[in-house]
Structure 1
Amino acid sequence: MTVLTLALAGLAVLLLAAVHVVTPSLRFLDGSPRSVWLSAAGGVAVAYVFVHFLPELAGGEASVGRMAGDTFGGFSERHVYLIALTGLMAFYGLDRLAKVDRSRRAGIPVTDARGASVNVGTGAGVFWIHMGSFGLYNGLVGYLLLHREATGPASLAFFTVAMALHFVVTDYGLNEDHKAAYRRIGRWVLVVAVLAGFAVGAATAVSDAAIAALTAFLGGGVILNVLKDEVPSERQSRFWAFALGAAGYSALLLTL
């Protein structure tokens, strides 16, 4: 790892940490229909997964398969995609947990948990489950700033922009779910987590198979965390903004 690589990644992690600090204060993202900026940011993040992450997963399938075969005796030829599915399902479960808890506390149907104009957040238990899970998620992003399948300044820049915009989307959702608790404590937990992940990445390195597995899990999580806010009808999402963000960033990624 060169000094330049470490310095550029250090600037990237500071940008990602700053996103967590400022996003809850961005009032222009509020309201219904959904902000065009949130929809466009979601499109960028999803484009990165499908145009960049998934081809990387295909390339890492062999190494993950060897690792799984050595460890478990070989249980599938699609190990890396099962890991991506696990990431998607894990964050679907977390989102459902928050919706159910918030709805119960507000006394409204579960389907209206975010759509209703109520100033009720989740309970402390669900809040800390969410913070712990997204803390690991952020730590993974921080780690991958230094240990991705594709390396180089251009790859780092595309990854950082996609993850920064993705963090805007996830932070907005976490702020809706947890209210003051997220603004007071939660965002700082995520700041520490992404910085800690970067520090671990600077001090350690893992195998190519592990990098592919971590990338797969992150990819599944990104897809779910974006689409869970874009797809529900009560969000009144801006399809044109989502599509424009996805198409524009896809075009840029194809120049890599």
Structure 2
Amino acid sequence: MTLDSLLLVVVYLCVQLFANKLISSSAVGRFKWLSFSGGVAVSYVFVYVLPSLHKEQARFAETQGLTMESELYILGLFGLLIFYGVHKAAERAQHTHLEGEGHFFWIQIMFFAVYNMLISYIIFASDIEGIEAVFYGVAVGMHFMAVSHDLWREDSKRYESLGRYVLAVGIAFGWITGVFAPLPSYMLAMVFAFISGAMILNVLKKELPSEENAHFKTFLAGSLGYTAITLALKYFFNW
């Protein structure tokens, strides 16, 4: 366990527990904050997640002697489909119940606790560290914040009373297992592929601001700014 990983998990836990207070108390404004966060998340998907998935697929096919060359992409598709099913079930539950999503809200919380755990596990079980880990960790922290805010909007009372703590436990458990019980590289690649599909869905569905809530200039600044910095750091540090 390194100091970097310890500091990063503390930041993630603070973001998860206090995301909505941070957003509501920010002088920037909720719409601008979420638009900027969405821009960073979209950039993260295209300049890190997709290239990393391609790299892992090539390594996975070579080490496992597979010829299809799309095994990890299929796992990513499964991740996307499963979480899309959760989203659709949540929408149906909202239309069925007059107040919130009924008992399904807790099922959704548990799904996202697992989601947080897997993302946290991938970050802390991988071999990236130092500035690279912190830089990519910032994008993930903003993603946690946006997902948390979306769940808070669905049922703020139950989210504040217990939901956010369940999600924080997911992050903590992912950190513990990632640091002390890392999987073999081929299994880590499979977990990464699955959660990448779910992340792509959540970024595009939950973090792209709707027309009435969007601040396009801030979204563009977050997206292009994060992309430019990522490409520069990759060039200078050979990430």
The C-alpha deviation readout for 1:132-180, integer Å capped at 9, x for no partner, is 21111111122123222x5121221122101110011100111112221
Alpha carbons 1:99, 1:177 under 8 Å: kept: no
Q: SS at the partner of 1:206?
A: coil
Measured at CA, do residues 53 and 27 of structure 1 come closer, stay the same or move farther in structure 2, by a change above 3 Å?
Answer: closer
Aligned to 2:142: 165
Q: SS at the partner of 1:35?
A: helix
Aligned to 1:116: none
Measured at CA, do residues 231 and 14 of structure 1 come closer, stay the same or move farther in structure 2, by a change above 3 Å?
Answer: closer
Measured at CA, do residues 174 and 210 of structure 1 come closer, stay the same or move farther in structure 2, by a change above 3 Å?
Answer: same
For residues 106-185 of structure 1, the aligned pairs below 5 Å read 106=98, 120-124=99-103, 126-148=104-126, 151-185=128-162
**Paired residue type of 1:128:** W
What is the CA–CA distance in structure 1 between the aligned matches of 2:209 and 2:130, rounded to whole Å? 36
Q: SS at the partner of 2:214?
A: coil
Alpha carbons 2:37, 2:207 under 8 Å: kept: no
Query: Which blocks of at least 5 consecutive residues in structure 2 are unaligned?
Result: 235-239
Measured at CA, do residues 104 and 223 of structure 1 come closer, stay the same or move farther in structure 2, by a change above 3 Å?
Answer: same
What is the CA–CA distance in structure 1 between the aligned matches of 2:119 and 2:151, rounded to whole Å? 17
The C-alpha deviation readout for 1:174-230, integer Å capped at 9, x for no partner, is 111222111111100011110111111121121222222222222222222122135
Alpha carbons 2:35, 2:209 under 8 Å: kept: no
Alpha carbons 1:135, 1:189 under 8 Å: kept: yes
Offset, 1:68:
7.0
Aligned pair partner of 2:79 in 87, 97, 100: 87
**Paired residue type of 2:91:** K
Alpha carbons 2:115, 2:195 under 8 Å: kept: yes
Aligned pair partner of 1:105 in 82, 97, 112: 97
Could you tell which deviates more after superposition, 243-252 or 231-240? Answer: 231-240
Aligned to 2:213: 236
Alpha carbons 1:56, 1:212 under 8 Å: kept: no
What is the CA–CA distance in structure 2 between the aligned matches of 1:54 and 1:233, rounded to whole Å? 24
Aligned structure 1 segments of 4 or more residues deviating by more than 4 angstroms:
66-69, 230-235
Q: Identity rate of aligned residues, in percent?
A: 33
Offset, 1:75:
8.2
What is the CA–CA distance in structure 1 between the aligned matches of 2:137 and 2:106, rounded to whole Å? 26
Are 1:10 and 2:6 counterparts? yes
Offset, 1:85:
2.0
Compute the TM-score of the two structures, normalised by the length of structure 2. Answer: 0.86
Measured at CA, do residues 78 and 24 of structure 1 come closer, stay the same or move farther in structure 2, by a change above 3 Å?
Answer: same
What is the CA–CA distance in structure 2 between the aligned matches of 1:167 and 1:132, rounded to whole Å? 15
Alpha carbons 2:117, 2:172 under 8 Å: kept: yes
Aligned residues: 231
Alpha carbons 1:29, 1:37 under 8 Å: kept: no
Query: Which blocks of at least 5 consecutive residues in structure 1 are unaligned?
Result: 107-119
